[in-house]
Structures are given as C-alpha cells and as structure tokens.
C-alpha cells in the first residue's frame, strides 16, 4: 500500500540509535498506524507529503538543511514539524519555524502531548489531506474558453498569477474553436441530452425544442474540448454564445459539473479556481452565483445565477437565460440547510473571504437570475461585501467548512 505521508525523525548527533528508538518509538507507532512511513534522507525525493519529527533539541540546522533538499522535489511545500513534550523537541521546533517564517517559508508545528493525543494526530491527518489538495491543484488544467468577460474588472488574473499562487495551469482555448465544434456536433448526440434535460424538469417555460437542441450541442462541443485538451475544469465566455448564436452555456456548464468537470461562467478564472479548491477540500459540489441582494440588518443575502449543477437541486424548471431571454437557463431549488460561502480575490489572488450560513428559502423573482437562494449568515458579515468586496461571484458549497478552508489557506498560501 502506498504511504499517505512520510515522516523523518531528526535527532542531535549526540543521540545513538537505541536512544532515538526509545524517544520516538511510541510516536512512530502512532504515525505508522495513520498510514505514515518512516523515511530517511534519500526518501525526501518522494512525492508523498513529508513531516519532520523533531526528536531532540540541537536539530535546528539539520532540519533546515533537510528541507532545502526537500524543496528540490516539492518546491513551495509547507514545512510540517512534529514536536513532543521531551528532549527539547518543542524548543527546537519553535526555533526552526521562526527561521523559516523569517525566510518567507510557510510551515506549522504539530505538538503531540503524548503518543495517544487524538486531537494532535487528527491535525496531522488533516494536514496530510491539505498537502494532497495542494498537490492536486498543481496538476489541474483549467480551460479558459474565450477571454474573461469585460465586466470582470477585478477578476482577470493572468495565467501566471493563477499558476504561481494557487497551482492550476490555465489552458487558453479560442472561442472560435468552440464555435467550430458546435457546428460539427453529430445530431445523434443531441437527442439523448435533450430528453434527459427535459424529462428531468418539472416544467419547461420559455425554451423551445430548438432551444434545447442548441444548448445540447454546446454541451457536446464543450465535452469534446475537455477531452481533447485534457482539461479538469473550464470557464466559458458564455455571453458570446447569446450574442452570436442566440443560445446559452448554462446547461453545458451545469452538466459538466455533474460529470466531474468544475465549470465556471463568464471566463471567471478566480471563481473557477474557488470551485476546484472547495470541491477538492470538502468533496461538495460548488455553485457559482451573484450576490444579487443583501440585508445588513438581517445579515442575509440572495444569491442567483442561471446555471446550477442539477445534482445540487431538489427539482428544476427550464427557463430562458435571464438577461437575454434566449437559450436555456436552469431554475433549480437548492435544499435548505447549512452552507459555506467563499470568495478569492486580490491582484495576486492572495485574499480570501469565507462565511458560513444557512439557506432559508429559494426564490423565483423575475428580476434576478433563475436559480435563487436566500442565505442567512451565521458566521460572517454581509457588510464585508459592501466595504471590502473581493469581486462579484461567490462560490457556495453545502455544509459548514470555514475552519477547514481557513486552516488550509493559512498554511498553504498566507
């Protein structure tokens, strides 16, 4: 079985092997039981997450040297130190982390009060998962189909910024490439998608059969792009479909998400990264939406968008795309319950806003995008959106995950 992580004991040169076994033996047993594997210096070239077990004091320079070697294999990986109550382990760990932070290197100390410290061991387990998410982000390929929409004036990071700060590689795809593929879609692929979309709806209000066929063709073409460009996520300059083809990308983005390809609207790379990140870290399906209305006194807001993954909703109606009255929009009913809201921002995508709340009801207002959810914040303040917004779109996931998201961000990026 592949090890979940590696741990390398580091001791003073004055400590003999038998003494080292006596000092860390019980801790080693606990780490092995969690799926860890004891490493030596040669193992630092391996891809699994690495931890340094600070067995004794007098190890500060040793750890710094080992980490310098490790960074050749895992550049930018946070330095994780495990300390225990004896043998000047904690003082050494404190000195190491202080030096690393002076040098601008992220890291964290995991203090185990004893080998059975369930809380401390749980934190180590979470950190292993966090590093796995970091690694996964660095392997993600996001297709930017067309340029970001012009109105996203605070949400147009360069591909280099996305790569440097969060890890994913941005793959530019010309919008003309999509248009050509739409024209070339085999009609035999369209009918099954149309029937699936229509049969699952409780009602079809504005769209015609021709409208349904058009959005099914967009979905088929987008699936082909995903396969041919080996993409893990996409964001689409979707309003050009409205202007040039009198259709919409709402169904395509909804269906791609349900197929495991995180899909963002309007060429919004920032929110698409947020969708990928929250999905990897929480396992929940994300929804990207506009904060359309808010109430400071009630600490509530309405989120709305014309697309939503159908796996997130209890039921849905087929409507037109709100702003244009064309194509197909999805008016879904998202179940009431706990949610977490996330927004990444900043010129270098270095800022984060996270709030927790509960969906109290859904809406069908005719002056908002089709899927509408009313959220009452239980941890967070809607005034932040008025005084220090990071941009328009917000990502919503089911459940309360703020602590998990902040812990990841503070260790990996802050």
Structure tokens at 375: 């959220």
State yes or no: pLDDT of 414 exceeds 90.
no
How much is the average pLDDT of 238-251? Answer: 94
How much is the average pLDDT of 328-354? Answer: 97
Q: Which residue has the tokens 């997450």?
A: 49
The backbone torsions φ and ψ at residue 71, rounded to the nearest 5 degrees and listed phi first, read -65, -20
Q: How far apart are CA 256 and CA 168, in angstroms?
A: 18
| pLDDT tens readout for residues 66-98 | 999 999 988 889 999 999 999 999 999 999 999
What share of the chain in percent tops pLDDT 90?
92
Structure tokens at 381: 């303040």
State yes or no: pLDDT of 1 exceeds 60.
no
pLDDT for 413 equals: 82
pLDDT for 294 equals: 97
SS3 212: helix
pLDDT for 390 equals: 96
How much is the average pLDDT of 233-242? Answer: 95
| pLDDT tens readout for residues 93-106 | 999 999 999 998 98
Q: How far apart are CA 2 and CA 71, in angstroms?
A: 21
What domains lie within the chain, and their CATH numbers? 5-138 (3.40.50.10940), 140-412 (3.40.275.10)
pTM for the full model?
A: 0.91
SS3 346: coil
Q: How far apart are CA 319 and CA 204, in angstroms?
A: 6
State yes or no: pLDDT of 258 exceeds 70.
yes
Which of 174, 122, 114 minimizes the C-alpha distance to 145?
A: 174
The backbone torsions φ and ψ at residue 411, rounded to the nearest 5 degrees and listed phi first, read -85, -40
Q: Which residue has the tokens 């040169």?
A: 13
Q: Which residue has the tokens 């914040």?
A: 377
All residues at 6 or more sequence positions from 228 whose CB lies less than 8 Å from its CB, including other chains:
none
pLDDT for 306 equals: 97
Tell me which of 135 and 396 has the higher pLDDT. Answer: 396
All residues at 6 or more sequence positions from 354 whose CB lies less than 8 Å from its CB, including other chains:
340, 341, 342, 343, 380, 402, 405, 406
Bridge partners (DSSP) listed for residue 263: 234
**Residue 3 pLDDT level (bands cut at 50, 70, 90):** confident
Q: How far apart are CA 71 and CA 61, in angstroms?
A: 15
| pLDDT tens readout for residues 131-183 | 989 989 999 999 999 999 998 988 999 999 999 999 999 999 999 999 999 99
- For 112-134, the DSSP string reads -SSTT-HHHHHHHHHHHHHHHHH
Structure tokens at 233: 């996520």
Which of 362, 330, 371, 361 minimizes the C-alpha distance to 205?
A: 330
State yes or no: pLDDT of 47 exceeds 90.
no
**Strand residue runs (E) in 112-236:** 141-145, 169-173, 203-204, 233-236
* Rg of the chain taking only CA atoms, in angstroms: 25
State yes or no: pLDDT of 17 exceeds 90.
no
When the pLDDT of each residue in the chain is averaged and rounded to a whole number, the result is 95
């Amino acid at each position: 079985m592949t090890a979940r992580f590696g741990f390398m004991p580091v001791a003073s040169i004055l400590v003999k092997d038998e003494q080292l076994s006596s000092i860390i033996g019980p801790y080693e047993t606990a780490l092995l039981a969690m799926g860890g594997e004891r490493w030596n210096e040669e193992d630092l070239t391996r891809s699994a997450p690495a931890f340094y077990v600070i067995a004794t004091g007098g190890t500060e320079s040793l750890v710094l040297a080992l980490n310098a070697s490790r960074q050749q294999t895992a550049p930018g990986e946070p330095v994780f130190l495990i300390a225990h109550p004896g043998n000047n382990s904690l003082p050494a760990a404190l000195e190491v982390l202080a030096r690393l932070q002076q040098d601008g290197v992220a890291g964290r100390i995991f203090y185990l009060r004893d080998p059975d410290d369930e809380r401390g061991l749980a934190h180590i387990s979470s950190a292993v998962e966090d590093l796995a998410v970091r690694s996964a982000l660095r392997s993600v390929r996001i297709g930017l189909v067309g340029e970001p929409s012009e109105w996203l004036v605070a949400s147009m990071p360069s591909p280099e910024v996305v790569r440097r700060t969060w890890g994913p590689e941005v793959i530019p795809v010309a919008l003309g490439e999509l248009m050509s593929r739409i024209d070339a879609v085999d009609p035999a692929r369209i009918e099954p998608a149309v029937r699936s979309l229509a049969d699952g709806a409780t009602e079809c209000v504005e769209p015609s059969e021709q409208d349904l066929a058009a959005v099914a063709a967009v979905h088929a073409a987008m699936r082909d792009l995903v396969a041919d460009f080996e993409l893990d996520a996409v964001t689409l300059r979707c309003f050009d479909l409205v202007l040039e083809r009198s259709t919409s990308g709402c169904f395509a983005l909804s269906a791609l998400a349900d197929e495991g390809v995180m899909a963002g609207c309007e060429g919004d790379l920032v929110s698409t990264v947020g969708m990928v990140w929250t999905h990897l870290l929480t396992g929940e399906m994300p929804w990207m939406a506009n904060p359309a209305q808010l109430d400071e006194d009630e600490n509530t807001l309405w989120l709305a968008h014309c697309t939503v993954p159908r796996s997130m909703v209890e039921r849905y109606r087929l409507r037109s795309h709100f702003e244009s009255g064309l194509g197909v929009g999805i008016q879904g009913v998202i179940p009431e319950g706990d949610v977490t809201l996330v927004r990444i921002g900043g010129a270098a995508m270095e800022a984060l806003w996270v709030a927790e709340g509960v969906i109290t009801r859904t809406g069908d207002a005719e002056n908002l995008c089709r899927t509408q959810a009313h959220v009452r914040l239980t941890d967070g303040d809607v005034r932040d959106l008025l005084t220090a917004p990071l941009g328009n779109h917000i990502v919503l996931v089911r459940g309360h995950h703020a602590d998990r998201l902040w812990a990841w961000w503070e260790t990996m990026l802050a």
